Chains A and B, each alone.
Chain A
Amino acid sequence: MSDATTLPRMLRHNAQTMAERPALREKNLGIWQTYSWARYYQEVGDFALGLAAHGFRRGDKLSVIGDNRPRLYWAQLAAQCLGGVAVPVYQDSIAAELVYVLDHAEISIIVAEDQEQVDKILSLKDELPGLKLVVYDDPRGMRHYEEPSLKSFDEVRGAGRDFAASHPGHLESEIDKGAPEDLALLNYTSGTTGHPKGVMLSHANLITSAAAYAAAEDIRPSDELLCYLPMAWIGDSLFSIVLNLLVGFTCNCPERPETVQRDLRELGPTIGFAPPRIWESMLSSVRVRATDSTPLKRKMFDFFQRLAERAEPLKGEGKPLPPLTRLGLAFGEILVYGPLRDQLGLGRARWFYTGGAPLGADTYRFFRSIGINVKQVWGATELSGLATLQPDGEANPDTVGRVLAGIELRIAEDGEVLIRSPAVCLGYYKQPETTRDTFGEDGWYRTGDSGFFDQRGHLVIIDRAKDVGKLSDGTPFAPQFIENKLKFSPFIGEAVAFGDGRPFVAAIIAIDLTTSGNWAERHNLAYTSFQDLSAKPEVRELIREEIRKCNASLPAASRISRFMLLNKEFDADDNEITRTRKIRRPFVAEKYAAVVEALYNTARQVELSTEITYEDGRKATLNSTIAVDDVEEARQPAREPAYA
Chain B
Amino acid sequence: MRAELVSGNSKVSTGAADETHLAISGVSKHFGGVRAVDSVSLLVRRGGLVSVIGPNGAGKTSLLNMISGFYRPDTGSIIFEGKDITGYRPSQVAMLGIARTFQNIALFSGMTVLDNIMLGRHVRMKAGVLSSFVYWGLAQKEEVAHRARVEELIEFLELEDLRKQPTSGLPYGLRKRVELGRALALDPTLLLLDEPMGGMNQEEKEDMARYILEVNQQWGTTVILIEHDMAVVMDISEHVTVLDRGRKIAEGSPNEVQGNPAVIHAYLGTAAERREAAE
Contact = CB atoms under 8 A, between A and B. Distances in A.
Chain B interface, DSSP helix/strand/loop, else mixed? helix
Contacts of B3: 138-140
Given A29-B152, A140-B3, A256 B161 contact: yes
A30 B2 contact: no
A31 B155 CA distance: 12
B4 A139 contact: yes
B161 A259 contact: yes
Interface string B217-251: 11000000000000000000000000000000000
A166 interface: no
A322 interface: no
A440 B148 CA distance: 58
Nearest to A143: B218
A255 interface: yes
B1 interface: yes
B: interface residue count bin: 20 to 34
Given A29-B5, A29-B148, A30-B151, A141 B214 contact: yes
A29 B155 contact: yes
Contact of A28 (B2, B158, B163, B210): B2
A262 interface: yes
B5 A262 contact: no
B160 A259 contact: yes
A139 B154 CA distance: 16
Contacts of A29: 2, 5, 148, 151-152, 155
Contacts of B217: 143
Interface residues of A, number: 16
Query: Which residue, B1, B6, B147, B158, has most C-beta atoms of chain A within 10 A?
Result: B1
Nearest to B156: A140
A256 B160 contact: yes
B160 to A, nearest CB: 5
A143 B216 CA distance: 13
A506 to B, nearest CB: 38
A285 to B, nearest CB: 15
A29 B153 CA distance: 9
Contacts of B5: 29
A258 B155 CA distance: 13
A140 B1 CA distance: 10
B163 to A, nearest CB: 7
Query: Which residue, B6, B154, B160, has most C-beta atoms of chain A within 10 A?
Result: B160
A292 to B, nearest CB: 14
B160 A255 contact: yes
Contacts of B151: 29-31
Interface string A308-333: 00000000000000000000000000
A138 B7 CA distance: 12
A66 to B, nearest CB: 13
B209 to A, nearest CB: 13
B146 to A, nearest CB: 12
Contacts of B4: 139, 154
A138 B3 CA distance: 7
Contacts of A262: 161
B2 A258 contact: no
Contacts of B158: 256
Interface in A390-427: none
Contacts of A154: 4
A577 B218 CA distance: 41
Given A28-B2, A29-B5, A258 B218 contact: no
Interface string A12-37: 00000000000000001111000000
Interface in B1-54: 1-6
Interface of A: 28-31, 71, 138-141, 143, 154, 255-256, 258-259, 262
Given A29-B152, A140-B6, 9 more contacts: A29-B2, A29-B5, A29-B151, A30-B154, A30-B163, A140-B214, A255-B160, A258-B161, A259-B161
Shortest 6 CB-CB contacts between residues of A and residues of B:
A29-B151, A258-B161, A140-B3, A259-B161, A30-B151, A139-B3
11 contacts: A29-B2, A29-B5, A29-B148, A30-B160, A139-B4, A140-B6, A141-B210, A141-B214, A143-B217, A255-B160, A256-B160
